Structure 1
Amino acid sequence: MAATSVRPKWASLPTDARAYVERRLGSPVTAAVDCTGGFTPGVASRLLLADGRHVFLKGMSSDHPFAPQYADEIAVTSVLPDGVGPRVLWWAMPEDSDGWWWLCLEDIPGTVPVLSPDSADTVMALAAVEQAGKLLTPSPLDSARPITELVGRWLTGWSTLAAQNPDDLDPWAAGHLSALAGIEEKWQQDAAGKTLLHWDLRPDNMLRREDGSVVIIDWSYQNQGAAWIDPAVLVPHLIMDGHSPADAEAAVSHLPQPDDPDVLTAFAAGIGGYWEKSSRRPNPPGVPFLRAHQVRAAAATRVWLRHRTGWV
């Protein structure tokens, strides 16, 4: 897949950082394939060790603004049950590793699935989402917070834009800005639940194994809530991969859904406003492609919203 982040290469890391990792691995690193996917600027490298093992290493210096997200990922990934996510080999906190967060995982050979209509990848990705929802209810993470505590504050983009009244909004969004702001928080009334949520489901947070099965990766948020939320998060990405809104909804219809369809419409408004607002911000350090992704996601979610609301 195309590069989406600017990550440091294994060979460019400080000597002390590489030495610590090799001590933990118990073997020198003889080769590294540095990954470029994702939207965080930390180390992400597939390492070949002198003893023949392969591992996948993620890491970031604790003084980077994104570092707290690595702490969250370690907390979540380390408690995932078998059948959900990659297997954790070891992790380290900055106080134990000269100022770095490290997460060492099994190396899973695979590629990013393509979630297009009639794709076998789509079927297997949805099977992975279904299994994760079942195995993560109730949440195995005691520190997981209600999703409304953090995400609820994020999904208020239309209200922010209504106050700013930008002149470059999509005409449909501009014409319904007040109505979108009026519904964007109503999904929270049906958001409570005991499921540990990924929250950031999208194709590049998945890997298609050689046998065709899909594993969900990059568990970076300590959120729990209603089981319908993760399937709903995936809908705009299905649209971006070629599904119509109706077909995208049909694809996830066997997964948990809110009892009130207006709740799903409100969630679509919330996530669409989040991307619409976020896409206008400057790029974070080391992540030059994030805003362009959010522009595409916002456009796909507008298509979904037009379908759900029927507003012309």
Structure 2
Amino acid sequence: MTVTSVRLEWASVPPEARAYVELRLGSPVAGSIPCTGGFTPGVASRLLLDNGRHVFLKGMSGDHPFAPQYADEIAVTSVLPDGVGPRVLWWATPEDSAGWWWLCLEDIPGTVPVLSPDSADTLMALAAVEQAGKLLTPSPLDNARPITELVGRWLTGWSTLAAQTPDDLDPWAAGHISALAEIEENWQQAAAGRTLLHWDLRPDNMLRREDGSVVIIDWSYQNQGAPWIDPAVLVPHLIMDGHSPTEAEAAVSHLPQPDDPAVLTAFAAGIGGYWEKSSRRPNPPGVPFLRAHQVRAAEAARVWLRHRTGWV
């Protein structure tokens, strides 16, 4: 797995918090293997217990700036139906567990899938996305927010960059920045829906099981919307793993799509502008590789955008 974050080791967790976890587990922890994927700096470890069991544990101190994301992940993951995401064993709030958020999941031995054009992983990942879309419509989370409430504010990067265009901006993007800013919000008119969305679909938020099937992990956003959004989120990551834009769009063509192709072009502009803008911000504490990832994602989104717009 590619290292993308700096995780807190299990042994570095305060003793009172570790004691709470072991009480809930019903066994002392005999060993731990930190997982280095993802872009949050909390605990994410596979634990071997004295009684021989294995579990996967995620956690973060309640006073950390990223703590609300863990609260969201607990809210979403705890209501996922069978067949979507990992099985939840237990969870805890800071009020009950010495000041920490905890989410304890089944341990799933596996690896990050490779979503290249010739990989069997791609078909299995798409099957997981298709099943999730069906099982999560209507959303099992009663208070899921419309995706436009939060994400709609994020996907306005071209408008921000147009006000003061960076010198290092890709020449194609710089030449079309006004047109990109003009269309980047036009996907929102077709975003309403009742599907609980993952929103952050990418290979390192998936695991390939030993039998070859793929499970989607890290459900961290309480968003609902149109079922075409998650397949669209995946397209740039297919491009990053070697698909051409035509191949990437063909790979997801059997999944829900917006009725108007211009909506998908606008979404590509929105997500591309988000990565362009975000990649220029300082790295958040404990996450030194996030911006480099966003640079690569922005490049993939530009390739997709040039394909969809046909702009020279």
TM-score by length of 1: 1.00
Distance 1:113 1:282 in 2: 29
TM-superposed CA distance for 1:269, in Å, is: 0.1
Equivalent residue, structure 2, for 1:215 = 215
The one-letter amino acid paired with 1:28 is: P
Secondary structure of the structure 2 residue equivalent to 1:95:
coil
Distance 1:6 1:258 in 2: 38
The one-letter amino acid paired with 2:48 is: L
Secondary structure of the structure 2 residue equivalent to 1:232:
helix
Distance 1:14 1:105 in 2: 21
Equivalent residue, structure 1, for 2:170 = 170
Equivalent residue, structure 2, for 1:186 = 186
TM-superposed CA distance for 1:181, in Å, is: 0.1
Give per-residue Cα distances to partners, 1:118-174, cap 9 Å, x unaligned. 210000000000000000000000010000000000000000000122211000000
Secondary structure of the structure 2 residue equivalent to 1:94:
coil
More displaced, 15-24 or 248-257? 15-24
1:150 equivalent in alignment to 2:150 = yes
Distance 1:122 1:166 in 2: 36
Secondary structure of the structure 2 residue equivalent to 1:80:
coil
Give per-residue Cα distances to partners, 1:95-120, cap 9 Å, x unaligned. 11111000000000000000001210
Give per-residue Cα distances to partners, 1:227-272, cap 9 Å, x unaligned. 0000000000000000000000000000000000000000000000
Equivalent residue, structure 2, for 1:160 = 160
Alignment of 1:294-309 (within 5 A): 294-309=294-309
Equivalent residue, structure 1, for 2:288 = 288
Distance 2:207 2:145 in 1: 27
Distance 1:176 1:189 in 2: 23
Equivalent residue, structure 2, for 1:111 = 111
Distance 1:50 1:267 in 2: 49
Secondary structure of the structure 2 residue equivalent to 1:207:
strand
TM-superposed CA distance for 1:17, in Å, is: 1.1
The one-letter amino acid paired with 1:151 is: V
TM-superposed CA distance for 1:192, in Å, is: 0.2
The one-letter amino acid paired with 2:106 is: E
Distance 1:306 1:237 in 2: 16
Secondary structure of the structure 1 residue equivalent to 2:189:
helix
Give per-residue Cα distances to partners, 1:55-110, cap 9 Å, x unaligned. 00000001111000000000000000000000000000011111100000000000
The one-letter amino acid paired with 2:279 is: S
Equivalent residue, structure 2, for 1:125 = 125
TM-superposed CA distance for 1:23, in Å, is: 0.3
Secondary structure of the structure 1 residue equivalent to 2:187:
helix
Distance 1:304 1:124 in 2: 23
Distance 1:96 1:143 in 2: 23
Equivalent residue, structure 1, for 2:45 = 45
Secondary structure of the structure 2 residue equivalent to 1:269:
helix
Distance 1:165 1:237 in 2: 26
Q: Which runs of 5+ in 1 are unaligned?
A: none
Alignment of 1:60-71 (within 5 A): 60-71=60-71
Distance 2:62 2:294 in 1: 26
Distance 2:17 2:4 in 1: 24
1:260 equivalent in alignment to 2:260 = yes
Distance 2:196 2:254 in 1: 19
TM-superposed CA distance for 1:175, in Å, is: 0.1
The one-letter amino acid paired with 1:29 is: V
Q: Which runs of 4+ in 1 moved over 3 A?
A: none
Distance 1:105 1:143 in 2: 23
Distance 2:260 2:118 in 1: 28
The one-letter amino acid paired with 1:105 is: L
Equivalent residue, structure 2, for 1:240 = 240
TM-superposed CA distance for 1:2, in Å, is: 2.1
Alignment of 1:14-33 (within 5 A): 14-33=14-33
Distance 2:122 2:131 in 1: 14
Distance 2:163 2:142 in 1: 38
Give per-residue Cα distances to partners, 1:280-308, cap 9 Å, x unaligned. 00000000000000000000000000000
